[in-house]
Amino acid sequence: MQAVLCPHCNETLSVPNDLAQAHCVRCGRVVPLGESHVTAEPPIPTSFAFQEQPPERPPTVLLAGPRHDPSVRYASWEEFRSNSPVVQHHLAQFATRPLPDMRAADWFPIPDAALLNAEALGRPVASFTLPGESPWFGIGLVLPVCGVGLGTLCAIALIAEPGFNELPAMAFFSILLAGLGTWLAFFRPLRLPVTLWVCENGILRQSGKQFHGCLWDEVSDFQVDQQYRLPRFRIRIRDQDAEFGTGRNPAILPIMEYIETKLSAAQFLPELKHIFEGECVAFGQVALDRAGFRGLRFFAYWSEIERVVSDPEFMFVIRRGQADWDKVRYGEVSFPALVLAISHVMIEEEKHLS
């Protein structure tokens, strides 16, 4: 583009460079470009030629929230929950923690007979079945035991000579062995197959023809044992335990990660409230209260603890100025991720709670 001055009305025009003449937009007369005074305009950058400039925004003013005085104790649970920066930090972590990819997990519909139990659990995201015991396996395993007992009893009756002093004891042992084998084969309760549906708001358990639904904050136990090559898990729903390992099904690992994340987020505030109100809350072989961290063979005040950490085998309590770390087997701690989060809160807020 070039700037051209109209000789008739002195209007400045912007016209393309390749035109020989142009018409003035003001007076309408022909402007011969060769005879006019022409000054070239700087080219307009093509990348910004058709872009509107964004409106200027007012500067953002960050308002500092109320800070809790380090010398003042929390007066109530609501004040503690609302004003503690450590509690808010963990709540934000639970809310924003990405859930594992569940697209590879198996899933099958919930039976119609269990829809009433699963009404409040939300949409199912995964399901799996834990195999039970076959009745023929139990009979085949213990019949030899029963046979040995009965055979020994018959042999004693046939070959025992008069005056054989050990006959009563051997007969008693044989009868006991035969009775034990009979009970194991025919009267011992079988371990039935268990099917678990993992849902958005809880978990549904089927054992035989019985269904039990449980919200995440109602699950009473969750343990992870990682001391072996393949981790094993235990979850308790309505006083019924389900124990299983990953085995040859690696798809169970993201399901367990999903369950632990949901459990920790749902039970964080309720369990922390119990501790704040003076209760001693047990998590397997450890217990937490307002005073400190209790293990099987040690107790540490929160004011003495620098941090609580874990590896796949142990959970460690590190005290200030102490070289040796107190430890508990990781597989003996219920809700291990929840214990780590609550311990961090109690360590940081100890001055406001003691």
Are 212 and 204 in contact by the 8 Å Cβ rule? The answer is yes
- How much is the pLDDT for 73? 85
Average pLDDT of the residues in 170-194: 65
Rounded average pLDDT over 97-114: 81
The pLDDT value given to residue 64:
38
Tell which phi-psi region holds residue 335, choosing left (phi > 0), alpha (psi between -120 and 50) or beta.
left
Q: What's the pLDDT score for residue 49? A: 40
Nearby residues of 158 by Cβ (< 8 Å), 6 or more positions away: none
Q: Read off the tokens for 209.
A: 């023809």
315: three-class secondary structure by DSSP: strand
Given this model, what pLDDT does residue 354 score? 67
Of the candidates 169, 171, 167, the residue with the CA atom closest to the CA atom of residue 153: 171
List, for residues 212-263, the tens digit of each pLDDT value: 888 999 999 999 988 777 788 889 987 888 887 776 667 788 888 999 999 9
pLDDT in tens, 139-170: 555 566 566 656 666 666 666 555 555 556 66
The predicted-structure confidence for 11-65, as pLDDT tens digits, reads as follows 777 766 666 666 676 666 767 765 444 454 444 444 434 344 444 544 444 333 4
Contact 102, 125 (CB under 8 A): yes
- For residue range 114-147, what is the model confidence (pLDDT) as tens digits? 887 788 888 888 888 877 555 555 555 556 656 6
285 versus 135: the higher-pLDDT residue is 285
List the one residue out of 315, 274, 324 whose CA is nearest residue 296: 315
Q: What is the pLDDT of residues 56-89, one digit of tens each?
A: 544 444 333 444 565 678 989 999 999 999 999 9
Place of tokens 């269990």: 114
What pLDDT shows up at residue 159? 60
| Whether the predicted pLDDT of 329 surpasses 90 | yes
Q: Is residue 176 predicted with pLDDT exceeding 90?
A: no
Rg of the chain taking only CA atoms, in angstroms: 38
Q: From residue 269, give the alpha-carbon distance in Å to each of 80, 275, 345.
A: 11, 10, 11
Mean pLDDT across the chain, nearest whole number?
A: 78
pLDDT top residue among 70 and 337: 337
Higher pLDDT, 159 or 295: 295
Token pair belonging to 225: 């044992």
Between CA 19 and CA 32 the distance in angstroms is 10
Q: Note the maximum CA span of the chain.
A: 151
> Rounded to whole angstroms, what are the CA distances from 272 to 77, 266, 280, 329?
9, 11, 10, 23
- pLDDT of 188 reads 60
